[in-house]
């Protein structure tokens, strides 16, 4: 065990979720260490990250509060003002528009690599935050007062709380013995940047196809970032076919809503699964982001849910500070866990249901979903409620 005064918080994993948590904690006066296995790749405008997020307004506000969002906007972010969702088989179209909601935009499309780069740089400016990278977690042991963290390089840290933000294959989750409930969708998310004949019109588009949803997200350089959920074998085939064949199939799959798809960048695919930790708290070890919950990307909510875990934790430690009590007290963590787990679990199962209903080609679901989309579009209060939930308002 280290003989130095314990840290308040050790965060394992410097993705968007972990770095935001570490930065927010340091700004709130906690002594923090942030441990990351791989040095973040410096962001370059000419080499966009294929992992692109539809970033919700509440999370933009969180990063604005930390002084990072203006830097993201200045580098590259695309506001989207309209969202169109329709079904290949059932008809009906649901339209969300910022104008109708009296909002400047519905959200922004941003690259994961840009967010991490700017957050990591901001973390480097904090006197209360030490970044340990490249460094890996090797072991965790805890007692009633704190947690001992052993790193692969031999260093040992002692902290009052450890936050596992080390992604879907979380080592923190494994070492601390958290159980998970896992469901493989048998689908992959194929991602790429594509050029289109007509401009994207600041619109996020999503078409439900029998194999899974296909999203065209407007990107700041005029192209679209696509996320195409496909059965595994189909994804393999579409990764392997030549460019002309891919453009042809993608244009058809997207119903040529923006005319022909004219160019495509490198393509990559991620396996899609629902993975939910049964608990988020084990003593003084907590999980957030993909370490706690992985959801289907169809609603673009993965990182948004993870940052809401962080925002709620921040409320917890600020409240403890105001009352002069232990921010890692069991009852506080239990309250945080209850609220975050119920929201994340409900979201994961809702996306599951949508994926299942819209991937079915049985007659009843096809008829119902066409009616449902058309009906929802005629209910402005309902669409406003849906948007407010997705936007975290």
Ligand X SMILES: Cc1cc2nc3c(=O)[nH]c(=O)nc-3n(C[C@H](O)[C@H](O)[C@H](O)COP(=O)(O)OP(=O)(O)OC[C@H]3O[C@@H](n4cnc5c(N)ncnc54)[C@H](O)[C@@H]3O)c2cc1C
Please report, as ranges, the residues that interact with ligand X according to CB under 6 A.
12-18, 35-38, 51, 53-54, 112, 136-137, 165-167, 171, 189, 191, 227, 270, 289-290, 297, 300-304, 306
Q: How far is the CB of 65 from ligand X (least distance, A)?
A: 18
Q: How far is the CB of 216 from ligand X (least distance, A)?
A: 12
Nearer to ligand X, 159 or 366 (CB): 159
Closest CA to 234 of 193, 186, 266: 186
Nearer to ligand X, 13 or 90 (CB): 13
Nearer to ligand X, 90 or 300 (CB): 300
Q: How many CB atoms lie within 10 A of CB 273?
A: 15
Nearer to ligand X, 158 or 267 (CB): 267
Q: How far is the CB of 167 from ligand X (least distance, A)?
A: 3
Q: How far is the CB of 91 from ligand X (least distance, A)?
A: 26
Nearer to ligand X, 12 or 23 (CB): 12
Nearer to ligand X, 165 or 247 (CB): 165
Nearer to ligand X, 13 or 218 (CB): 13
Q: How far is the CB of 367 from ligand X (least distance, A)?
A: 29
Q: What is the 3-state secondary structure (H, E, C) of the chain?
A: CCCCCCEEEEEECCCHHHHHHHHHHHHCCCCEEEECCCCCCCCCCCCCCCCEEEECHHHHHHHHHCCCHHHHHHHCCEEECEEEEEECCCCCEEEEEHHHHCCCCCEEEEEHHHHHHHHHHHHHCCCCEEEECCCCEEEEEECCCCEEEEECCCCEEEEEEEEECCCCCCHHHHHCCCCEEEEEEEEEEEEEEEEECCCCCCEEEEEEECCEEEEEEECCCCCEEEEEEEEHHHHHHHHHCCHHHHHHHHHHHCCCECECEEEECCCEEEEEEEEEECCCEECCEEECHHHCEECCHHHCCHHHHHHHHHHHHHHHHHHHHHHCCCCCCHHHHHHHHHHHHHHHHHHHHHHHHHHHHHHCCCHHHHHHHHHHHHHHHCCHHHHHHHHHHHHCC
Q: How far is the CB of 342 from ligand X (least distance, A)?
A: 18
Nearer to ligand X, 140 or 247 (CB): 140
Q: How far is the CB of 338 from ligand X (least distance, A)?
A: 20
Q: How far is the CB of 51 from ligand X (least distance, A)?
A: 6
């Amino acid at each position: 065990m280290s003989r130095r005064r314990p840290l308040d918080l050790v965060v394992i994993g410097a993705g968007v979720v972990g770095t935001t948590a570490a930065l927010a904690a340091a700004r709130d006066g906690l002594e923090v260490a942030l441990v990351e296995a791989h040095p973040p790749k410096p962001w370059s405008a000419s080499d966009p990250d294929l992992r692109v997020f539809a970033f919700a307004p509440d999370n933009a506000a969180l990063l604005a509060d930390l002084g990072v969002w203006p830097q993201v906007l200045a580098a590259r972010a695309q506001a989207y003002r309209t969202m169109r969702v329709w079904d290949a088989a059932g008809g009906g179209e649901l339209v969300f528009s910022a104008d109708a909601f009296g909002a400047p935009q519905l959200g922004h499309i941003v690259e994961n690599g840009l967010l991490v780069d700017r957050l990591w740089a901001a973390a480097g400016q904090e006197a209360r935050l030490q970044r340990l990278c490249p460094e890996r977690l090797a072991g965790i042991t805890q007692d009633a007062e704190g947690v001992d963290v052993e790193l692969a390089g031999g260093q040992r840290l002692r902290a009052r709380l450890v936050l596992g933000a080390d992604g879907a294959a979380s080592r923190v989750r494994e070492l601390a013995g958290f159980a998970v409930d896992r469901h493989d969708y048998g689908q992959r998310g194929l991602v790429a940047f594509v050029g289109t004949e007509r401009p994207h019109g600041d619109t996020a588009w999503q078409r439900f196809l029998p194999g899974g949803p296909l999203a065209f997200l407007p990107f700041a350089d005029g192209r679209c970032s696509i996320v195409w959920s496909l059965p595994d074998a189909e994804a393999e085939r579409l990764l392997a076919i030549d460019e002309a064949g891919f453009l042809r199939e993608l244009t058809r799959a997207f119903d040529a809503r923006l005319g022909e798809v004219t160019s495509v960048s490198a393509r990559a695919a991620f396996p899609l699964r629902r993975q939910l930790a049964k608990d988020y708290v084990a003593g003084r070890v907590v999980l957030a982001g993909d370490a706690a919950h992985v959801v289907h990307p169809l609603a673009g909510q993965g990182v948004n849910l993870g940052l809401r875990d962080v925002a709620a934790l921040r409320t917890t430690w600020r409240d403890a500070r105001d009352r002069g009590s232990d921010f890692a007290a069991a009852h506080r963590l239990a309250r945080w866990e209850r609220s975050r787990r119920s929201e994340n679990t409900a979201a994961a199962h809702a996306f599951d249901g949508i994926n299942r209903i819209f991937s079915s080609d049985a007659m009843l679901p096809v008829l119902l979903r066409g009616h449902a989309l058309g009906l929802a579009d005629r209910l402005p209060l309902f669409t406003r409620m849906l948007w407010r939930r997705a936007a975290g308002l």
